[in-house]
Amino acid sequence: MTADTTITAAEHGDDTSPTPATSLASRPSDTASVARRLEAILLVIDEPQSLVSLATAVAAPVPAVRQAIEALVADYDGETGGPRRGFELREVGGGWRLYVREEHDDVVAEFVNTQAPSRLSQAALETLAVIAYKQPVTRGQVASIRAVNVDSVVRTLLSRGLITEVFTDPDTGAIHYGTTNQLLVNLGINSLDELPHISPLLDDGSDGFDGEVPK
């Protein structure tokens, strides 16, 4: 709609007003504003997100997001005059995500263990079984096998120290999970080889999977 058309429509009592071409135009793209929106997204994501994905989420150009990421990293690392935070913004597998700093792993694990309930839910037990037999396995693969969303359950298992992030796929950014020694302790076994073979219960159509636990 041209300026002339807009004026004409207004003169004739038309309530229609020009709509911005994109929502991007209505959002500030200065580094501080983009950084604040990024922080909100980073607090809720579970897997590393690429610059393009983050730019889409906060409706900002990729260069602005890259600059905001650099500013947040410097801020969290205490390079801008403020305190060094207990968490860091780290690039893993081509994506960005907030992580607890390594030197604070012990205190976080101790706190989580004291806060965690003594019993796992049925959903958590089923998810743990899938991970134990199919590891290393992604969250998406577990969800496909169980046919339900497992995000919150995976977070619970991570907080209980029963599973851990084994590696991140460099191409997709997907995190692969595996079990920890804590699971062996809780089950009273020495290795995953002692788990019973229950492949019929975990059949997801994959060829060649016979229920054997990976070495």
Rounded-to-integer distance, Cα 186 and Cα 132, Å: 13
Per-residue model confidence as pLDDT tens digits over 37-75: 999 999 988 888 999 999 999 999 999 999 999 999 999
| pTM, to two decimals | 0.53
Taking 70 as the threshold, does the pLDDT of residue 115 lie above it? no
Q: Residue 88 contacts by C-beta under 8 Å, 6 or more apart in sequence?
A: 73, 76, 77, 98, 99, 101
Dihedral of CA 197/166/68/74: which sign?
positive
First to last CA, the chain: 66
Per-residue model confidence as pLDDT tens digits over 22-39: 444 456 678 899 999 999
* Beta carbons of 142 and 128 less than 8 angstroms apart: no
